Structure 1
Amino acid sequence: MQTIESLKKQIESAEDLESIVHTMKALAAVNIRQYERAVEALAEYMRTIELGLQAVLQKRVKKKGRSAPHASSRIGAVVFGSDQGMCGQLNDQIVSHTFATLDNMNLSRDGRFLLAVGERTRVRLEDLGLEVQETFPVPGSPAGITAMVQEMLIKIEEWYLEVELDRILLFFSKPLSGASYRPQTVHLLPLDEKWLRKLKEKPWPTRILPTFTMEWDPLFSSLVRQYFFVSLYSAFAQSLASENASRLASMQGAEKNIKERLNELVQQFHRLRQESITEELLDIVSGFEALTHGRG
């Protein structure tokens, strides 16, 4: 049976938990906006890179490309999730999407090379029987994304050249309106020839096409590396925005449940308190009556 003292402790614990959840909700809301701004800035930067590629492609030197994928394809997958919990179905959704996509490719077990971003992502991938070759931590802020992307680019380049991967795919969560998001797949490597051709054929926005004095190969390679950098950075930022949106929704649900529980506890406390006061008053009345009858 509940006592007044035990209810007091439960109310205090619920109030402390409500304060923590409120703080986490506020942090998630702030983080969402930070990562949204990063994505917006990247869109402008990507536009600049595309203009650079468009100009360079006008003088493209035709070269023999990489040989066509062999019968036994090798695919590299970079899967973005979270290190922390309390983010709803984020990890489950992106891992399920990755598994379904790779499964539809009918790859052999040796044809899958996975890089997981986030410890919880790695665990869920392995739960589905997928072997994870590399795991990277999730940056805690936009400032930490740059260094992580640079490390990932080195690892991806190693994979692409040494393991001779045919394709590298990015799997991440794309934020939508409110707290909603959806799994997204981006083909990082090799570069899409159709996309390059469209860039080359696209009309230049001004009447004068820019010229360049650098050698074509190093200039094109530099622009492509920037394209890879922005693609990875954008995947990170969008995944983190989705994670925080999901966490915000989870915290809103938790806050609602805590408030309901707190109201129940307060009502119980007031009822027990009232019962205690009533019992004390009845004891006083009974004692007074007994004392009065004794004197009579």
Structure 2
Amino acid sequence: MTENAAGLQRKIKSAGDLQAVVRTMKALAAANIGQYEKAVRSLGDYYRSVEMGLSVCLRRSALAEPTPEAAGAKARITGAVVFGSDQGLVGRFNDVVADFAIEKFSTLKKRPCVFAVGERAFSRLEDAGLTPVELFPVPGSVKSISPLIGQIVAAIETPPGCGAVTELYLFHNRPALGAAYAPVDQRLLPLDEEWRRALRKSPWPTTNLPEVIGGDAVLQELIREYLFVSLFRACAESLASENASRLAAMQRADTNIDEMLVDLTAAYHRLRQSAIDEELFDVTAGFEALSSPATSGDR
């Protein structure tokens, strides 16, 4: 009886300690969601500036029309960047984005050169027979995103065993309403012709277009910035989605622990009450035995 009560007490204590850890992780996930969503919002103005620069360059540059590579040269190499997570406790976060990317890959004519961000996504793609050519760690803060994107851009320009990438896709999870998220994809290269036509025709905020100094070299740098901003935003959205998924998982764990604590506490109280009832019964039985007529007569 005593050992059972002690065992229940240990379980209650362990559950309470686990719940404290879960609630700490919930608080961290909620705080991280805020910083990554703020980072995504802060990219808006810069992205708009890059678009305006591209619109001017595309109006004046010879690259405004599709190049042979963009039109579908035989040497085209398809690359794909898949953003996942390094850590667990995120539900189906990695499975969702990996399955979405794998389904998209099946529609491509050639096997893509895949770059994975996050060990979990890497493992999921590897299990599907699409072993990424390079693995990048998931950044732990907003400040760590820029160095990561620089590494990815450098790897895309000179991928090991793939050749120069001329067609590039992004796959990541994007936050949705509440704690939900959804997988999305985006083709970054070659630049979409419809998008380029829209940029060339977009109205300029003043009456005079700025002069472009540097010609096609400036256009190439702006395209590089466009890649950087797009990759940065995809990474930040993926991190926000990861923390939203972790928050939802921790919320479910917190609820389950609450229910378990209620059951364990009720079982402990029943056990304690049973022990008290037995002690009272023993006291009552002893008192009645001492108070019976046979006992009094013996005295």
TM over 0.5: yes
Q: Which aligned pairs between 1:115-130 and structure 2 lie closer than 5 A?
A: 115-130=115-130
Distance 1:167 1:259 in 2: 50
Distance 2:82 2:139 in 1: 14
Query: Greater CA deviation, 159-168 or 283-292?
Result: 159-168
Residue in 1 aligned with 2:30? Answer: 29
Distance 2:44 2:66 in 1: 31
Residue in 1 aligned with 2:271? Answer: 272
Q: Which runs of 5+ in 1 are unaligned?
A: none
Q: Is the 8 A contact 1:25 1:248 kept in 2?
A: yes
Q: Which aligned pairs between 1:1-296 and structure 2 lie closer than 5 A?
A: 3-62=4-63, 65-67=67-69, 68-70=71-73, 74-107=77-110, 111-159=111-159, 163-212=163-212, 214-293=213-292, 294-296=295-297
Distance 1:181 1:64 in 2: 35
Q: 1:52 to 1:245 in 2, by over 3 A?
A: same
Q: Is the 8 A contact 2:77 2:162 kept in 1?
A: no
Q: Is the 8 A contact 1:171 1:184 kept in 2?
A: yes
Distance 2:155 2:178 in 1: 34
Identity of matched residues, %: 45
Shift of 1:58: 2.7
Give 1:215's aligned amino acid: G
Partner SS for 1:159 = coil
Give 2:99's aligned amino acid: S
Q: 1:160 to 1:60 in 2, by over 3 A?
A: farther
Partner SS for 1:165 = coil
Shift of 1:217: 2.2
1:172-216 per-residue CA deviation (whole Å, 9 max, x = no partner) reads: 01111111111111112122232122111111122232234x211
1:22-44 per-residue CA deviation (whole Å, 9 max, x = no partner) reads: 11111111111111000001122
Partner SS for 2:283 = helix
Distance 1:38 1:89 in 2: 24
Shift of 1:66: 4.0
Q: Is the 8 A contact 2:85 2:120 kept in 1?
A: yes
Superposition CA RMSD, Å: 2.1
Distance 2:221 2:167 in 1: 20
Q: 1:60 to 1:158 in 2, by over 3 A?
A: same
Shift of 1:292: 3.7
> Looking at CA atoms only, which structure, 1 or 2, has the larger radius of gyration?
2
Q: Is the 8 A contact 1:69 1:166 kept in 2?
A: no
Distance 2:97 2:76 in 1: 22
Distance 1:61 1:73 in 2: 21
Distance 2:119 2:161 in 1: 26
Partner SS for 1:283 = helix
Partner SS for 1:182 = strand
Paired positions, count: 292
Distance 2:74 2:50 in 1: 34
Distance 1:256 1:250 in 2: 10
Shift of 1:65: 2.2
Partner SS for 2:11 = helix
Q: Is the 8 A contact 1:160 1:166 kept in 2?
A: no
Partner SS for 1:87 = coil
Partner SS for 1:170 = strand
Q: Is the 8 A contact 2:56 2:209 kept in 1?
A: yes
